[in-house]
Amino acid sequence: MVHRFLLVLGLSMGLALGAAVAPVAAYAATYSAPLDRAIADLAVRVEVRTGYSRDLFPHWIDADGDGCSTRDEVLIAEADDPVTVEDDCALSGGRWFSYYDRVSWTDPGRIDIDHLVPLAEAWDSGARNWARRTRQAFANDLGDRRSLVGVTDSVNQSKSDRDPSEWMPEHATCRYVREWVAVKHRWRLNVNRAERRALVSFASHCANRTITVTLAR
């Protein structure tokens, strides 16, 4: 997959959400390609669910020891109104917009932090072969804003662990497709044939924007 996409070396940097939970190499490769090429570059494999457990992906850890878990860090970063962070990372104030259903919430309890590529889907797509520390890094990925997103709890529950061939948000489908493809590339995850067909179909109605990610592995 070295043809027709850009592969460069640069310093691995945290994005708006802060430093990555588990730093990758000091110099990390960057993948960049238009959406259609990025979909075509994803390896197609049969998915395997055997052996999956959510416990194999330790998540909502406090990586930097500041008292705020990964969930808290995402809520703080994505708040549209300022958030007050109190003792034990109790949050007050704030307003959050769920782009899946275009609803805003002032109660953080109504926001789930969605693993855009669900943990079970990641397992099916290659994470079953990772070391536990790599799965932890995936589950707490603050190094790319697309990996974790705050959304309405009920919508997240309706999504569950389904891929784009089985579920898509009601709104902003092009954004969702771009971000799904970006996360799959960042973690070098596979797609299955139905998933690839769905991505191609949805992307045909989207602007063919370039996707750029810093590879996490």
Angle formed by the axes of helices 173-186 and 193-203, nearest 10°: 130
Residue 16 predicted with pLDDT over 90: no
Of 42, 60, 37, 28, nearest to 183 by C-alpha is 42
- pLDDT value of position 3: 37
pLDDT digits (tens, 9 = 90+) for 194-204: 999 999 999 99
- pLDDT value of position 65: 95
pLDDT digits (tens, 9 = 90+) for 44-60: 999 999 999 999 999 99
- pLDDT value of position 18: 40
Residue 25 predicted with pLDDT over 60: no
pLDDT digits (tens, 9 = 90+) for 58-103: 999 999 999 999 999 999 999 999 999 999 999 999 999 999 999 9
Of 179, 134, 167, nearest to 35 by C-alpha is 179
Per the model's pLDDT, the better-predicted residue between 4 and 207 turns out to be 207
Residues 97-115: what's their mean pLDDT?
97
> Given pLDDT bands bounded at 50, 70 and 90, which one contains residue 11?
very low
- pLDDT value of position 28: 76
- The domain segmentation of the chain, as residue ranges, is 6-214
- pLDDT value of position 5: 38
Q: 10: which 2 tokens?
A: 């640069």
Three-class secondary structure of residue 140 per DSSP:
coil
- pLDDT value of position 95: 97
pLDDT digits (tens, 9 = 90+) for 121-171: 999 999 999 999 999 999 999 999 999 999 999 999 999 999 999 999 999
Of 109, 114, 133, nearest to 74 by C-alpha is 114
Q: What is 165-200 written as a DSSP string?
A: TT---SS-HHHHHHHHHHHHHHTT--B-HHHHHHHH
- pLDDT value of position 71: 98
